[in-house]
Structure 1
């Protein structure tokens, strides 16, 4: 969330003298690193050399942030080896879960409710505002909320022409929001003389709802007159926007094929060690060595194929 740690060498395990042995859990501490916030991925490398090649099967990595009390789990269950499995010595592993004390779950109320943020934009048309109440009901793929009343009072004049009002609505988690029901309700103490004409209507331009427990924003275009005392008009979610942390955690593992064409001119080939970094809109692979067992690579006029597995890099 707040950058990266840079490469950390796992030199001294506080639990075992011989590191990374079968069925061992090794603990490494880095007390001088500032908190990085909500973690999204780790990159683990098995640094094999020509003289020392040892296959390593990594089950999982758990990172505990002792400054915040958060804990993050990164399941791997794959080999890091140039000779085993898909012959990858570097793994990018996305975060599968975090602790109940994480910043996301910390956004829930003590009784387990989500404080949904509702932003209501009243249109800037003539007579678009209302002096009456508005109400909204949220529907998710798991549950439906109770009705939330947006009260107009002499002390708090809301839902007026061209105005943006923000409300907090505490509800049980509803899952992914799909639609809303929006209504316009008469104030008992401020009854209208007539239910006809613009005074008995409210024109809403747009509603945005933010779920702080997932970091997701839901956009609902309205652009409609709502009659007083209506039974409720339904509006579908038009767009869902996830924050950066959520986007990172939804990245899937992808195997990229890299084809290298060596030129067909004198001395075009090389016996040097070659590595590559692939950059995308969602990150990069870091340096990845281009190796193949039992093959002379990068010879004059030769085509060499390599496969690199990493989290989706976007475009």
Structure 2
């Protein structure tokens, strides 16, 4: 009974397959019982296997009837072909042969029909019976003929292989061609394209609390009305890329990006996960360098995984910083020198700690009237609050006849806070044909004037310059000198006259007028490196300063006091010595001592004579003035090059005074 019948409740008996034996029919051994009924596990049935065996016997029998002596073993079947078989035989060409057991008479037929095969297996009584096929089967072995023809044609087209000298076949070594694998190209990561149309100054203040510093990588994202600047790292471009935000420090960065319009918010973050990477951010300030607008973002919180609310990323909203406007008075002083004025357009630009101002045109209203020889011009400008002024750029466009300009200095004063004053001292040319040919200068701001003499009456100076007697020692550049003394520092004075100055081996004398700097300590000597062969070798410099009446009277008074004090001291020493001699008892021993004392007195007198020698020709015995001081001479050795391509390449040097001599004149 099958399992299916048991499941349905109605028992059904199946007829099991059996096998005939000598003892009767019995079930097959290969049958297995399953829930669906009996199942034969044999792959093929016995009838199919019997048919396959008969087919194989027929093929062997057919192969034995072939006339070809050399068997053909194609596809594992050994059979014979008739000699003289044409390559292409036609059906109907019957070649009758006497029939025999297990064969048929039509030799032109390869495969016979089923009736012919049965007749061959059961031979008839009629020996002359002929086996024939009524079907249109092919009369040749298609597989064997095709393979033969293929091999025959292949042999005809085959190139004979080369042979060795001994007649053996030479084996050709096949060359293995190396085919390199295709390179693995790393696909670049597509980054967002940022149009760098604007420059932003990002200033970051780190809080002044313990452990506020961090060396993690800090990133910023800026969002504006017109666009967004993607995540950008803040670090220094020079040197190493590792950057540290120090406790209580202020760091400034410049970031390029698109025009964002009005900035609404920023995102500040870093990649530090350890406790040492904690960062206390005070605030961030962003300034657009195109519009000079400033936005402030206040944080005052931790960016750390171990402090505060354990966040390393914060979004900060913007607050636009209100900027006040300052008014400055600009005073420009042109030097009183030949062709020192200019008719060109003059501009200034201020640079402060919190930004830069726009370019201001000073003589826009009265061009041609300002900046003339020896003039001092004043202008008023309005500038946004850019913090403390650090430097100023002054320039002109070089238009007009003789546009070269000799600028002395510029003074910048806050109108509302008069005590805020900035000085920009230059004392040089802005011209195409003089000096380095530049029409602009960047001047550093000074809150106090350098120690220059700006008051008092001028005095006469005489400068003696000696050019060395060496190759290429002369120069055509403009040589200048500055005096530094006990009372201050003079302006830059140019050494020039109608002669061809500073030629090789020449000694020249220049007369100058400048403010009194007192006793000379040093000088600043140099040239502007203009003209061909500007290098200059200076042997020495001598400066003669002519004394004024006040200085002569003061000097005579001081010398007379010194002379009187020396005279009184001498008289006192002589009186003391006489008293000492009267009190002493004269003896032989004392005579020896007196001789010693007399020697000491003689020695002291000679010393006093040396000390009083400087007053010997100035005052007589009664103190009357015999000679009057006229000038002081200062000797300054140099023996150095002033050239960019010689020695140390300096074109300006500060030289100290080595000798000082006072010259007198008879009264």
Confirm or deny a common fold (TM above 0.5). Answer: no
Return the TM-score normalized by structure 2: 0.18
- Give the helix-richer structure, 1 or 2: 2
Q: Which has the higher contact order (CA 8 A, sep 6+)?
A: 1
